[in-house]
C-alpha cells in the first residue's frame, strides 16, 4: 500500500502501479504498439541475417546516441521537475512528481533493453528471426521513447512559463 511518506520504487510502479496510477509498463500498450509491430515485422521480413548482423553495430551506436540525447534531456527534465512551478503542476497529475520521474526512467530502460537485444543478436548468441524481430521492435520503441522524452521536456518548459506568467499577472493586480 502506497503512503505519502513511503519511498517510491521504480519496479513497483513499473509492474504494479500505485494507488493513483496504472503500471508504467501499460504505457507501452497503446495505439503505437501496432506501428512498432508493423515496423518490426517489415524489417524482419526484408533483412537477412548477414545484413542485420553487419548493420547491427551501426544500430547499436545509433541507439547509444539516442540514449545520450535522452540522458541530456533527462538532466534538463530533473531541473524542470524540481522547479516550484512544476511541483505545483504535479499536484494535478495522478502520478505526481514520481510519475514524471519514473516515466523518463522507463524510457531509459527501453533504450537499454534495445541495446542488449541488438548485442545478443549481433554477437551471434541468438541469430534467429524472433530475436531479430525483438531487436527491430525495440529499435522502433527506442525512437519513440527518445522523442517522447524530448517532447515531455518541451511541454514542461511551456507549462512552467505559463505558470510563471500567470503568477506574475496575479501578483501585479
Predicted TM-score of the model (pTM): 0.83
Q: pLDDT per residue over 64-107, tens digit each? A: 888 888 888 888 888 888 899 998 888 888 888 888 899 989 99
Nearest Cα neighbor of 137 from 113, 156, 160 is 113
In this structure, the dihedral spanned by the alpha carbons of residues 81, 82, 88 and 91, taken in order and rounded to 10 degrees, is 60
Each domain of the chain, given as residue ranges in start order, spans: 11-172
Q: pLDDT per residue over 140-155, tens digit each? A: 999 999 899 889 999 9
CA 116 to chain centre: 16
Q: In the structure grid, which three cell numbers stand for residue 86, read together?
A: 512544476
Amino acid at each position: 500500500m502506497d503512503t505519502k511518506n513511503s519511498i517510491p520504487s521504480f519496479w513497483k510502479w513499473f509492474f504494479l502501479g500505485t494507488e493513483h496510477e496504472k503500471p508504467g509498463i501499460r504505457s507501452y500498450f497503446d495505439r503505437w504498439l501496432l506501428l512498432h509491430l508493423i515496423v518490426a515485422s517489415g524489417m524482419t521480413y526484408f533483412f537477412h541475417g548477414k545484413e542485420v548482423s553487419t548493420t547491427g553495430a551501426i544500430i547499436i551506436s545509433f541507439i547509444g546516441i539516442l540514449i545520450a540525447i535522452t540522458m541530456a534531456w533527462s538532466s534538463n527534465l530533473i531541473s524542470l521537475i524540481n522547479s516550484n512551478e512544476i511541483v505545483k503542476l504535479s499536484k494535478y497529475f495522478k502520478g505526481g512528481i514520481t510519475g514524471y520521474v519514473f516515466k523518463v526512467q522507463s524510457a531509459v530502460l527501453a533504450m537499454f533493453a534495445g541495446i542488449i537485444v541488438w548485442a545478443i543478436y549481433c554477437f551471434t548468441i541468438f541469430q534467429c528471426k524472433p530475436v531479430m524481430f525483438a531487436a527491430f521492435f525495440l529499435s522502433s520503441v527506442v525512437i519513440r521513447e527518445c522523442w517522447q522524452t524530448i517532447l515531455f521536456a518541451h511541454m514542461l518548459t511551456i507549462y512552467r512559463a505559463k505558470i510563471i506568467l500567470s503568477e506574475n499577472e496575479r501578483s501585479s493586480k
